[in-house]
Chain A
């Protein structure tokens, strides 16, 4: 276990102490303790920066399940480090913000911070694991912790709905991803991403390549809220705002982006990858921005905006894959798309994080997030207004903020499509710049709307639930730091270019680095009168026109009836599967145990008999049989007659004693079959259980009076005879056929050398197969406590009534 592993699991470890700190030190806001974790991790990860800047990577291996090829391999490279710093950096700011956002008196902070730390650790695990199975494990952890955080105010119906929705969609995607991982393993024989990248060139022709690609993308798209899976993100806004700022803008939704970037070297040579990633990305960009305009809730606007910005990054990553096809160029211009993706990823985290915190401040101080009720807050909340305007202008892509730079690069990347003569991009590819431009116009419109409707316009304070005032300083620190970064990165983008962006791009496009190309990251404001500049001017002008005429064309949003929207589809599908499932269950589950047993036994015989028939599994081999001795026959007859007696017994006592007789004959059989341990155990157990049976039933006076013989029922008889017959057939074929050598000889040979024992059965129990025994005594413990509870806690329910 290296320090790096410790860093990844530190959030989980520290989460253990949170409830105690919360209970023990009520006077101090628990958030202050939590803050230390991301802060320490951030500082820890900074020291990796010089390493990755030089193109080095750090790999630490902790063996977990080596026999299955599953090891906890922590791998730090440019891409992983960038994400790790985002996670811990934004994490620290969000925790600081939450200290002022969530009151320590009212909120269940111990739950909140445990979930948040769980999430942080899971995210770190996702971005720093090299082993796909470990990555998948952390991936699902993010889904679960996100579920818990969205449902944090679980008494609200919308929170529960949002939590369930995000869980269903992201876990569905996660499971698909697991399928993709397994397919990759079948192709490459390893779970390590780095090793897979090394052998990726051979995958293209593999028949499993396309299914694996689709499944992995499904995982990435659901997590990153790409169309049509974006519907969970707006509902996830029910989470407390710090959570939205952290998970649903800066980190968790970027896990999908991370996965696409990380798996790019494996898949990106393929045409399908480029088209799917870029196509879904660009459409999501358009759809998100288009829908953001109609929203009236501050956080809903931001949610749709996040969806659209994620689409933007996704489309850039898709187009960036085109660079791989030009690895002989000296100056590969197509890399600009990947560079833009990484740069925008950082920018988006800064401005979207600050905007979410701004929305939280407005909500906190006015009591509402509905922009129809807000307006004119500029005089009351000047600092919040400054945060909002910088964030929004950066988001809209206006100079001099960082959003402008990455938006320009984005447009450059989109225009470069014209020059690509691969994969039909020169014809259909025209759609990319067009959609990008339209989406940017809508982005401009909603960004302007967000600021203007909230802070300018006519004040209407009488509609607000609270009297608005500026937020406390503590709440403003985090968004102020973020907008400061927006400006700093805007003016000095090259602070990032070699330290963070270049290493990250190099890990996304390793084959180009291997081909001897260098990633040149040089970001500057003025490019001259390029098409990008004219496009930006066009965006601003059209945007202003559209914003001022918003009232006239807004009605187009109402054209689509709810039933046909994706949300309608989701809700309908969910409720239909619920009612369908309910109906099916009601039809099958009659409430009678007999019915269930009939199901079980019918399926049992049907499956076993059909398998026997289909695989021609029935065989009989009389060559190796043990001889039949007369006393064995007699014992068999005793056993059978005792068993049959139970069927015809009138009194319960007879049945119980007959059962005992069966048990003792079985014990005698164990003696005959040279199994002394079994015989001993069986004898004692039989004694104790007969005593138990008698204790339970014979001493209950009422029950012993109502005795009657079982009525004969043909259906039952037929079913039970079929089961008996199946078992006989199986028993005969099981000793007659042997597909492989038994492990028993190993036990016999090694009992003395390995375990220093003589009694093989006992050695197997406690040593060779100790797990069996361990779980067995657990089962016994559960049974005994169950019995204790049943008898002792009777009538507790009744007292409550």
Chain B
């Protein structure tokens, strides 16, 4: 399963990077979103995917899945949400100001040079 996940992660990263290198601002943001999904899965995969009980203390169970990567991923998910939201608004405002979402045409408005 881990190897399968590794390949999935690789594909996610490939798509993410390819999108991030494109010209369109929206695609770049989507790329960062994909990138963080890849990173989250990577964190989980790193600790091994041995199936145990969910990391909630239960009578009579000693074999839990690793809680630490889950806590780290939880933090990462929320942070990536904040960052994505920030990027989105940045893109949206840039579009309003500059009238394009093509990165190569963005050269500042006349008033800022």
Nearest A residue (CB) for B42? A731
In angstroms, Cα B100 to Cα A2, docked, is 63
Most buried by B among A662, A674, A688: A674
Nearest B residue (CB) for A594? B21
B8: chain A residues at CB < 8 Å are 636, 639-640
B48: chain A residues at CB < 8 Å are 624, 626, 735
In angstroms, Cα B56 to Cα A107, docked, is 64
Interface bits A204-233 vs B (CB < 8 Å: 1, else 0): 000000000000000000000000000000
In angstroms, Cα B64 to Cα A681, docked, is 20
In angstroms, Cα B1 to Cα A167, docked, is 57
Contact of A787 among B12, B23, B86, B101 (CB under 8 A): B86
Q: How far is the CB of B75 from chain A (nearest CB, A)?
A: 5
Interface bits A355-394 vs B (CB < 8 Å: 1, else 0): 0000000000000000000000000000000000000000
- Asked whether A6 is an interface residue with its Cβ less than 8 Å from the other chain, the reply is no
In angstroms, Cα B93 to Cα A666, docked, is 30
A710: chain B residues at CB < 8 Å are 22, 24, 27
Q: Could you tell me if B19 and A626 are in contact, using CB atoms closer than 8 angstroms? A: no
Q: Could you tell me if B71 and A628 are in contact, using CB atoms closer than 8 angstroms? A: no
Q: Which of A153-211 contact B (CB under 8 A)?
A: none
B78: chain A residues at CB < 8 Å are 681, 685, 776, 780
Q: Could you tell me if A735 and B47 are in contact, using CB atoms closer than 8 angstroms? A: yes
Known: A643-B12, A731-B6, A732-B6. A688 touches B38 (CB 8 A): no
Interface bits A661-690 vs B (CB < 8 Å: 1, else 0): 011001001100111111001100100110
Q: Could you tell me if B19 and A647 are in contact, using CB atoms closer than 8 angstroms? A: yes
Of the stretches A11-19, A558-566, A760-768, the one at the interface is A760-768
B74: chain A residues at CB < 8 Å are 677-678, 681, 761, 765
Q: Could you tell me if A724 and B65 are in contact, using CB atoms closer than 8 angstroms? A: no
Q: Could you tell me if A760 and B67 are in contact, using CB atoms closer than 8 angstroms? A: yes
- Asked whether A575 is an interface residue with its Cβ less than 8 Å from the other chain, the reply is no
Q: Which of A607-637 contact B (CB under 8 A)?
A: 622, 624-629, 632-633, 636
Known: A696-B91, A794-B93. A663 touches B37 (CB 8 A): yes
Q: Could you tell me if B86 and A764 are in contact, using CB atoms closer than 8 angstroms? A: no
Contact of B57 among A626, A751, A765, A790 (CB under 8 A): A751
Nearest A residue (CB) for B85? A692
In angstroms, Cα B1 to Cα A629, docked, is 8
In angstroms, Cα B91 to Cα A160, docked, is 39
B42: chain A residues at CB < 8 Å are 727, 730-731, 734
Chain B residues touching A, range:
35 or more
Contact of A656 among B13, B15, B30 (CB under 8 A): B30
Interface bits B76-113 vs A (CB < 8 Å: 1, else 0): 01110111111011111101110001011001000110
Interface bits A691-723 vs B (CB < 8 Å: 1, else 0): 011001100100100000010010011011101
In angstroms, Cα B44 to Cα A730, docked, is 13
Nearest B residue (CB) for A629? B1
Known: A626-B48, A655-B27, A772-B75. A703 touches B65 (CB 8 A): no
A776: chain B residues at CB < 8 Å are 75, 78-79
Nearest A residue (CB) for B29? A693
Q: How far is the CB of A793 from chain B (nearest CB, A)?
A: 10
Q: Could you tell me if A594 and B1 are in contact, using CB atoms closer than 8 angstroms? A: no
A656: chain B residues at CB < 8 Å are 30
Q: Could you tell me if B103 and A758 are in contact, using CB atoms closer than 8 angstroms? A: no
B82: chain A residues at CB < 8 Å are 779-780, 783-784
Q: How far is the CB of A602 from chain B (nearest CB, A)?
A: 11
- Asked whether A3 is an interface residue with its Cβ less than 8 Å from the other chain, the reply is no
A662: chain B residues at CB < 8 Å are 12, 33-34, 37
Nearest A residue (CB) for B31? A646
Of the stretches A31-39, A396-404, A486-494, A740-748, the one at the interface is A740-748
Q: Could you tell me if A716 and B93 are in contact, using CB atoms closer than 8 angstroms? A: no
Q: How far is the CB of A39 from chain B (nearest CB, A)?
A: 51
B84: chain A residues at CB < 8 Å are 689, 692
A761: chain B residues at CB < 8 Å are 55, 67, 70-71, 74
Most buried by A among B54, B55, B83: B55
Q: Could you tell me if B19 and A669 are in contact, using CB atoms closer than 8 angstroms? A: no
Q: Could you tell me if B57 and A673 are in contact, using CB atoms closer than 8 angstroms? A: no
Q: Could you tell me if A735 and B22 are in contact, using CB atoms closer than 8 angstroms? A: no
Q: Could you tell me if B79 and A673 are in contact, using CB atoms closer than 8 angstroms? A: no
Q: How far is the CB of B16 from chain A (nearest CB, A)?
A: 8
Nearest A residue (CB) for B46? A734
Q: Could you tell me if A758 and B56 are in contact, using CB atoms closer than 8 angstroms? A: yes
Q: How far is the CB of A794 from chain B (nearest CB, A)?
A: 7
Most buried by B among A644, A676, A780: A780
- Asked whether A56 is an interface residue with its Cβ less than 8 Å from the other chain, the reply is no
- Asked whether A328 is an interface residue with its Cβ less than 8 Å from the other chain, the reply is no
A772: chain B residues at CB < 8 Å are 71-72, 75
B112: chain A residues at CB < 8 Å are 797
Q: Could you tell me if B10 and A724 are in contact, using CB atoms closer than 8 angstroms? A: yes
Q: Could you tell me if A779 and B68 are in contact, using CB atoms closer than 8 angstroms? A: no
Contact of A700 among B19, B30, B79, B95 (CB under 8 A): B95
Q: Could you tell me if A688 and B81 are in contact, using CB atoms closer than 8 angstroms? A: yes
- Asked whether A752 is an interface residue with its Cβ less than 8 Å from the other chain, the reply is yes
B79: chain A residues at CB < 8 Å are 776, 779-780
In angstroms, Cα B28 to Cα A682, docked, is 21
- Asked whether A59 is an interface residue with its Cβ less than 8 Å from the other chain, the reply is no
B5: chain A residues at CB < 8 Å are 636, 731
Contact of A744 among B11, B41, B51, B67 (CB under 8 A): B67
- Asked whether A550 is an interface residue with its Cβ less than 8 Å from the other chain, the reply is no
Q: Could you tell me if B85 and A689 are in contact, using CB atoms closer than 8 angstroms? A: yes
Interface bits A648-660 vs B (CB < 8 Å: 1, else 0): 0000100110010
Q: Could you tell me if B21 and A783 are in contact, using CB atoms closer than 8 angstroms? A: no
Known: A625-B3, A798-B111. A676 touches B54 (CB 8 A): yes
In angstroms, Cα B103 to Cα A773, docked, is 34
In angstroms, Cα B107 to Cα A710, docked, is 22
Most buried by A among B21, B71, B101: B71
Q: Could you tell me if B86 and A655 are in contact, using CB atoms closer than 8 angstroms? A: no
Q: Could you tell me if A787 and B89 are in contact, using CB atoms closer than 8 angstroms? A: yes
Known: A643-B15, A794-B93. A703 touches B101 (CB 8 A): yes
- Asked whether A786 is an interface residue with its Cβ less than 8 Å from the other chain, the reply is yes
- Asked whether A759 is an interface residue with its Cβ less than 8 Å from the other chain, the reply is yes
A735: chain B residues at CB < 8 Å are 2, 45-49
- Asked whether A437 is an interface residue with its Cβ less than 8 Å from the other chain, the reply is no
Q: Could you tell me if A786 and B15 are in contact, using CB atoms closer than 8 angstroms? A: no
Contact of B47 among A669, A719, A730, A744 (CB under 8 A): A744
A601: chain B residues at CB < 8 Å are 17
Most buried by A among B68, B79, B103: B68
Q: Could you tell me if A624 and B111 are in contact, using CB atoms closer than 8 angstroms? A: no
Contact of B52 among A674, A682, A747, A752 (CB under 8 A): A674
- Asked whether A62 is an interface residue with its Cβ less than 8 Å from the other chain, the reply is no
A622-B3, A731-B45 known; 16 other A-B pairs, CB under 8 Å? A597-B17, A626-B1, A655-B27, A656-B30, A659-B33, A662-B34, A663-B37, A675-B65, A696-B89, A716-B17, A727-B42, A731-B5, A744-B68, A786-B86, A787-B86, A790-B93
Closest 6 interchain pairs by CB?
A724-B14, A728-B10, A760-B67, A720-B17, A731-B6, A764-B71
| Selected A-B contacts with CB under 8 Å, 30 pairs | A591-B107, A594-B104, A597-B17, A624-B48, A626-B51, A632-B1, A644-B11, A652-B26, A663-B37, A666-B37, A674-B53, A675-B73, A692-B84, A692-B88, A700-B92, A723-B13, A730-B42, A731-B5, A735-B48, A742-B47, A744-B67, A759-B55, A760-B71, A765-B74, A772-B71, A779-B82, A786-B86, A787-B86, A794-B93, A801-B111
